[in-house]
A = this chain, B = another copy of it.
Amino acid sequence: MTSLETALPLTRDSIVSAHELIKPHIHLTPVHTSTTLSTIASTPQSPDALKGTPWEGQEPAKPKIKLFFKCENFQRIGAFKVRGAFHAVKRLIAEQGEGEVRRRGVVTHSSGNHAQALALAAKTFSIPAHIVMPSISTPSKIAGTRAQGATIHFSGSTSQEREAVVAEVIKKTGATLVPPYDHPDIIIGQGTMALEFERQVEDLIANTEGLNVRKGKKGLDAVITPCGGGGMLSGNAIALRGTGIRAFGAEPSFQGADDAKRGLEAGERITSVKTLTIADGLRTPLGEWTWKVISDQEYVSGVFSVTEKNIRDAMKLVLERMKCVVEPSAVVGLSVVLYNEDFRRLVEREAGDDGWNIGTVFSGGNTTVEAISKIFADAGDEQGERAEGVLGLDGQRVAENVAG
């Protein structure tokens, strides 16, 4: 990682420069729309759907919403993480020189998308990559990372055990640590998606007939992204500051995974989270850098959370209606828009009859047929409710079964 003394300032300008650096190495992922999902979002939830929620018995909100989806599930390695990884590696090269980085290598601890992203970025510049993974990681993740040419180092599962192995690798090789989210280079790299998103939606509105956008609307009013470690949310918030487009975050509530929201309420960062939410990319707490951005209302207008059932319901809609394969973490923003009444009331209140154009990011699509089957089979088992019932419910909010 570039040292913090020379780290880029957390500004939109830094993100514009980062975008130039990484553009040749990433996909310009498409922005999809969905008449069906915008219709569901603009239809009040039924009183039945609110039973057992904090909003039981209250009048459902009536927001008007047009949805736009930034499909980072179609990104290289299947997730947005390549943005931060390529940026960090290119900045390292600029600072240390290519020869030196090749000699020393890079290292990170992750069993998820960041591991594959860093491995790909390193491979692109013939830099050795060391990935520290818990030895209990699933074989497909180990194989996927190894396929990118990285050296895998196994560790125990606790953060202490992982960090010990990282320290050992650094001692042996001189490799530079590239953390998964809590560093300016990573945050700035992830923010590049917001620049694309902003322009793509403006182009879509300008060039597409029949998009049903309210007269006079030329672009996005808000962007809501999933929030785990907070790299994507803080990057987007920095990119959008001063544009008039608000940034919101979305978290799972299961077993305290909503650490950002709880931290904001308490006025203090929550530093440890232990949750098994199905949104497995969002099991981490905010870092120091990301907390600084996310806890500043000049940057982030609010963080909202949703239940496991809300996440499953949103995931089913995206799979079946939008025909996009997404991992559970990827739909948490959409899930807030569809099911969180606090957020929906805010939109109704602030946007009024004009409605809002809301962008949400499908952060990744790295899942398997087996994992998808299990998520919905478990839902049926645990809750005594058939997964079809979920769709049936939303069916009442749908006027037309269209894919786009």
Contacts and interface: CB of A to CB of B under 8 A. Distances in A.
A147 interface: yes
A76 B404 contact: yes
A323 B320 contact: no
Given A32-B74, A376-B370, A323 B365 contact: yes
Given A30-B30, A147-B400, A74 B373 contact: no
A319 interface: yes
Instruction: Using C-beta atoms within 8 Å of the partner chain, give the interface range for chain A.
Output: 35 or more
B323 A78 contact: yes
A75 to B, nearest CB: 6
A233 to B, nearest CB: 22
B320 A403 contact: no
B77 A323 contact: no
A324 to B, nearest CB: 6
A402 interface: yes
A381 interface: no
B368 A398 contact: no
Interface in A306-362: 316, 319-320, 322-326
Nearest to A316: B369
Given A76-B404, A320-B325, A323-B324, A147 B369 contact: no
A401 B144 contact: yes
Interface in A134-164: 140, 143-144, 147-148
By Cβ-Cβ distance, the 6 closest A-B pairs, closest first, are: A323-B365, A373-B373, A323-B325, A78-B403, A27-B404, A73-B323
Interface of A: 24, 27, 29-30, 32, 73-78, 116, 120, 140, 143-144, 147-148, 209-210, 316, 319-320, 322-326, 365, 367-370, 372-373, 376-377, 387-388, 391, 395, 398-404
15 contacts: A27-B404, A73-B323, A75-B403, A76-B403, A77-B401, A78-B401, A78-B403, A116-B401, A140-B391, A320-B369, A365-B403, A368-B388, A369-B387, A370-B388, A373-B377
